């Protein structure tokens, strides 16, 4: 039973570029949440997808967008990258609309130069 | 006031020691509470849920005080493998997790 997987593991971009990160949820899970974790900070909630729609969003600008596919996998897109977007991006999956335990993927470490 | 506040530490303790972490949260409507553990450069992993009546899992005890909006984690008989960052997590609606900055624990031989 595969857990949450994310790709790529590491990524280096320059300011102004765009990036797409990918996440496949744990088998049987249908809800995907994305978090940004800057160095020395706790993860910050970006948004959550359920039934292919963004259900809730944290305090992140519109440069951050996402998508969920019919197979429940998800993408996070960030446009016009800033140096401050350098962070570990974590995907977490869970099941249903009520709280269930969220399982995290290993994350994608994004460096913006 | 931040939504979830923790002492960042680090807490340096010898093996076998008992150590306690505290966490406060600002939203009195928060519904669920957890402690996650995060090893260096790894993803967070659920350590334990926190219930109003308090709960214990082996060497770990978690407690919640809703009146004071305060959560605690007690680790007894610390092991070297307990060295990690411990994240206090509060849940509001729609299963979105609000994390504290984490408390770093370093257990030395």
SS3 string of B25-89? ECCCCCCEEEEEEECCCCCCEEEEEECCCCEEECCEEEEEECCCCEEEEEECCCCHHHCEEEEEE
A35 in contact with B, Cβ within 8 Å: yes
CA distances from A91 to A86, A110, B88, B104 (A): 16, 13, 18, 22
Q: Is the pLDDT of residue B24 over 80?
A: yes
Tokens standing for A1? 């039973």
Q: Please, which pLDDT band fits residue B28 given cuts at 50, 70 and 90?
A: confident
Query: Which chain B residue lies closest to A6 (C-alpha atoms)?
Result: B43
pLDDT at B29: 83
The mean predicted confidence, pLDDT, of chain A is 93
Tell if the CB–CB gap between A45 and B96 is shorter than 8 Å.
yes
Tell if the CB–CB gap between B100 and A100 is shorter than 8 Å.
no
Q: What is the pLDDT of residues B52-103, one digit of tens each?
A: 888 999 999 999 999 999 999 999 999 999 999 999 999 876 667 899 999 9
A10 in contact with B, Cβ within 8 Å: no
Q: Is the pLDDT of residue A50 over 80?
A: yes
Query: Which chain A residue lies closest to B37 (C-alpha atoms)?
Result: A42
Tokens standing for B50? 């926190």
b/e sequence A86-101, b meaning 16+ C-beta within 10 Å: bbbbbbbbbbeeebee
Tell if the CB–CB gap between A90 and B46 is shorter than 8 Å.
no
Q: B60 burial class (0-12, 13-18, 19+ CB within 10 angstroms)?
A: middle
pLDDT at B93: 63
Tell if the CB–CB gap between B99 and A42 is shorter than 8 Å.
yes
* Exposure on the CB side of residue B20, measured as CA atoms within 13 A: 7
């Amino acid at each position: 039973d595969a857990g949450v997987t994310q790709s790529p593991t590491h990524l280096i971009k320059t300011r102004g570029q765009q990036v797409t990160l990918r996440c496949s949820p744990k088998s049987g899970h249908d809800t995907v949440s994305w978090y940004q974790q800057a160095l020395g900070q706790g993860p910050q909630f970006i948004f959550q997808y359920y039934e292919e729609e963004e259900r809730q969003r944290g305090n992140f600008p519109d440069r951050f967008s996402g998508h969920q596919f019919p197979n429940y996998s998800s993408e996070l897109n960030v446009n016009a990258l800033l140096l401050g977007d350098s962070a570990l991006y974590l995907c977490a999956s869970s099941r249903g609309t009520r709280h269930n335990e969220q399982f995290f993927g290993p994350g994608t470490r994004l460096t913006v130069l | 006031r931040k939504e979830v506040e923790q002492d960042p530490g680090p807490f340096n303790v010898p093996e076998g020691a008992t150590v306690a972490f505290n966490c406060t949260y600002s939203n009195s409507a928060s519904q669920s509470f957890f402690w996650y553990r995060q090893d260096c450069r790894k993803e967070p992993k659920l350590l334990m849920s926190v219930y109003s009546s308090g709960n214990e899992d082996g060497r770990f005890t978690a407690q919640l005080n809703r009146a004071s909006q305060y959560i605690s984690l007690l680790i007894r008989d610390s092991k070297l493998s307990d060295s990690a960052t411990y994240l206090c997590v509060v849940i509001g609606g729609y299963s979105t997790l609000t994390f504290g900055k984490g408390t770093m624990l370093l257990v030395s031989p």
